[in-house]
């Protein structure tokens, strides 16, 4: 059911439908060609629209900030902040993200052959990993490795499928040095787990669109209390990138029905491998100590 013209859309899908109705002359609202184009650009990049200031968006879109304010008002919002709230809800909730991804997967069924879709996924993931290497800031990578190797405590946090990435990183780094764990390893809750950290400790967070609100809040609180945040996310405009000391934008374009994890796992392995190199003999000694424990426990493992 189409929303009445006097009621501004409260969802991204509703905003898309409103733009279609405007272009068809069926919305009771008239927008000029430039305003329609600007609205289309906002809809195509909800993450950018959600996290940028009105001034930043104006520069990115090549318009004046007043143009964005007038656009919001023409659509029935009280101001640009109300229009931006639509994109922010989409970014933090993303209720249709997984079904939208699955729909694209089904639509891309033109390939024939038993392994056609797998072959296409392989090509996409290869492009993601190549893109990752191009987007990494070498200085940020080196400094992050130093923090992971030398900080007194390191915690890793991710939810949903990124929980597996957090477990992997905590396990791998814990093989090389002490006092590393998933943030909520003791299941005592994130607040208590954060309270155990102090300025100079490190929190690695991982999330991408649709961002998990609790992960965003955790990163914000940690940064506010002097904890060094390292973010594995999807773009420079990610909400996590805004609060992290170092952030890494990871390409994850894929036909997979959820977020692609291949490039994220590659980045995690790359960071851990570099930490092992930096720790040198100390890391090797930690691994040998671990092997001794495994051998002594033997069949009881």
pLDDT of res. 135: 87
Whether 1 is in a domain gets the answer no
**Domain assignment present for 183:** yes
Residue 289, pLDDT score: 92
What is the domain-level CATH number for residue 261? Answer: 3.40.50.10490
| 285 CB-near residues (< 8 Å, 6+ apart) | none
Q: Does residue 255 share a domain with residue 150? A: yes
- pTM across the whole model: 0.68
Number of Cβ atoms within 10 Å of the Cβ of 152:
11
pLDDT at 3: 42
Q: Answer yes or no: do 31 and 144 share one domain.
A: no
Residue 227 lies in a domain: yes
Query: Do 194 and 127 share a domain, yes or no?
Result: yes
If asked whether residues 292 and 210 sit together in one domain, one would say yes
- Residue 48: inside a domain: yes
The region, left, alpha or beta by phi > 0 then psi within -120 to 50, assigned to residue 57 is: alpha
User: Do 139 and 284 lie in a common domain?
Assistant: yes
> Average pLDDT of 137-166?
95
| 36-73 pLDDT per residue, tens | 889 988 887 777 787 778 888 888 888 999 999 999 99
Name the E strands within the chain: 154-158, 180-182, 202-206, 228-233, 246-249
Q: Last residue of a domain, which of 93, 111, 129? A: 93
81 in the same domain as 162 = no
* Model confidence at 232: pLDDT above 70: yes
Looking at the structure, tell me whether residues 169 and 256 fall in a common domain.
yes
The predicted-structure confidence for 242-290, as pLDDT tens digits, reads as follows: 899 999 999 887 777 777 889 999 999 999 999 999 999 999 999 999 9
The dihedral over CA atoms of 258, 259, 261, 262, expressed in degrees to the nearest 10, equals 90
Total number of domains in the chain: 2
Q: How confident is the model at residue 1 (pLDDT cuts 50, 70, 90)?
A: very low
On whether both 79 and 169 belong to a single domain, the answer is no
Q: How far is CA 190 from CA 199, 209, 217, in A?
A: 17, 21, 10
101 pLDDT above the threshold of 60 = no
Whether 224 is in a domain gets the answer yes
**Is 112 a domain residue?**
no
Q: What is the pLDDT of residue 119?
A: 81
Distance CA 206, CA 232 (A): 5
The verdict on 281 and 152 lying in the same domain is: yes
| Same domain, yes or no: 148 and 261 | yes
| Reported confidence tier of residue 202, pLDDT bands at 50, 70, 90 | very high
Is 160 part of any domain?
yes
Gap between the Cα atoms of 75 and 31, Å rounded: 9
What is the span of the domain harbouring residue 78? 12-93
Residue 71's domain is classified under what CATH number? 1.10.10.10
Domain shared by 163 and 255, yes or no: yes
More confident of the two residues 99 and 30: 30
111 domain residue, yes or no: no
Do residues 154 and 288 share a domain?
yes
């Amino acid at each position: 059911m189409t929303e009445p013209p006097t009621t501004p859309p409260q969802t991204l899908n509703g905003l898309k439908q409103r733009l279609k109705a405007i272009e068809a002359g069926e919305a009771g609202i008239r927008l000029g060609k430039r305003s329609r184009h600007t609205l289309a650009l906002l809809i195509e990049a909800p993450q950018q629209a959600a996290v940028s200031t009105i001034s930043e968006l104006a520069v990115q879109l090549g318009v004046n900030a007043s143009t964005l304010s007038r656009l919001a008002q023409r659509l029935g919002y009280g101001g640009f902040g109300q229009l931006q709230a639509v994109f922010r809800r989409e970014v933090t909730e993303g209720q249709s993200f997984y079904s939208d991804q699955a729909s694209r997967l089904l639509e891309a069924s033109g390939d024939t052959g038993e392994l056609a879709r797998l072959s296409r996924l392989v090509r996409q993931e290869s492009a993601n990993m190549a893109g990752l290497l191009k987007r990494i800031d070498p200085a940020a990578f080196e400094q992050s490795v130093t923090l992971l190797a030398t900080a007194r405590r390191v915690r890793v946090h991710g939810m949903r499928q990124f929980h597996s990435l957090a477990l992997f990183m905590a396990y791998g780094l814990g093989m090389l040095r002490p006092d590393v764990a998933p943030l909520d390893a003791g299941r005592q809750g994130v607040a208590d787990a954060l309270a155990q950290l102090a300025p100079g400790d490190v929190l690695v967070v991982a999330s991408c669109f649709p961002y998990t609100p609790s992960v965003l809040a955790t990163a914000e609180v940690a940064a506010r209390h002097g904890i060094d945040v390292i973010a594995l996310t999807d773009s420079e405009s990610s909400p996590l990138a805004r609060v992290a000391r170092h952030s890494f934008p990871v390409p994850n374009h894929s036909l997979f029905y959820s977020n692609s994890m291949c490039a994220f796992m590659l980045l995690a392995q790359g960071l851990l491998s570099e930490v092992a190199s930096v720790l040198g003999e100390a890391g090797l000694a930690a691994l040998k100590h671990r092997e001794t424990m495994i051998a002594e426990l033997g069949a009881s493992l």
